[in-house]
Amino acid sequence: MGEEVILGGGVEQALITDIAFWVIALSTIVAALAVVLVKDLFRAALFLVMAFLGVAGMFVLLRAEFLAVVQVIIYVGAISVLIIFAIMMTRDVKRGNQANRFQISAALIAGIFLLMTAFVVYNTSWNHLNDSSLPTKTLVALGEIYSNTLPTLADLLLRDFVLAFEAASVLLLAAIIGALVLIRES
């Protein structure tokens, strides 16, 4: 009765959603760890693609389909192909990730960020919206806002934030040209 169901339709759907969440979350975490721990650069790039796909799966579970599609198109499609292309163009791919003097300090900083994140998650009051906490008028307004975000996002990107949208595309183009120049000079 008071149970929140993401995909609608009863306890079975909630169970499927929970299973999908844990499968996607664990595979994304394992892929992210493999990106850092695997010595072979090419395999690390493939694990990075898997981690990007896991993040897109999380967006789907959050009902943010637009962000999931953007994640797949930009990160899985463009950025990952660029990274794999750069790895294949380097001369010493077989050497892999070399150990350096920053490993201990990087692990220490990552541990500090992990502890800070755990502290914030533990000390945050995670209030959930339910029917009794907000007036009906507010719930109807929230339902209208979050029911279909694609037209709203398209309107914002192509009308209000068109300059920032175009600047981001020029920035990505400059990054690709810069990467090609760096590869060509070596």
Burial (CB count within 10 angstroms: exposed 0-12, middle 13-18, buried 19+), residue 57: buried
The pLDDT-based confidence of 93 (bands split at 50, 70, 90) is low
One domain for residues 22 and 79: yes
Residues with Cβ within 8 Å of 109's Cβ and at least 6 positions away in sequence, in order, are none
pLDDT at 141 over 70: no
- Residue 108 covered by a domain: no
Domain extent for 162: 131-186
One domain for residues 79 and 135: no
pLDDT reported for residue 116: 96
One domain for residues 61 and 136: no
Instruction: Give the pLDDT confidence of 16-42 residue by residue, as tens digits.
Output: 888 999 999 999 999 999 988 888 888
One domain for residues 88 and 137: no
Percent of the chain with pLDDT over 70: 74
Coil, strand, or helix at residue 70? helix
Coil, strand, or helix at residue 55? helix
How far is the C-alpha of 66 from the C-alpha of 144, rounded, in Å?
A: 17
Instruction: Give the pLDDT confidence of 147-183 residue by residue, as tens digits.
Output: 667 777 777 778 888 888 888 888 888 887 877 777 7
- Residue 50 covered by a domain: yes
Compute the mean pLDDT over every residue in the chain, rounded to the nearest whole number: 79
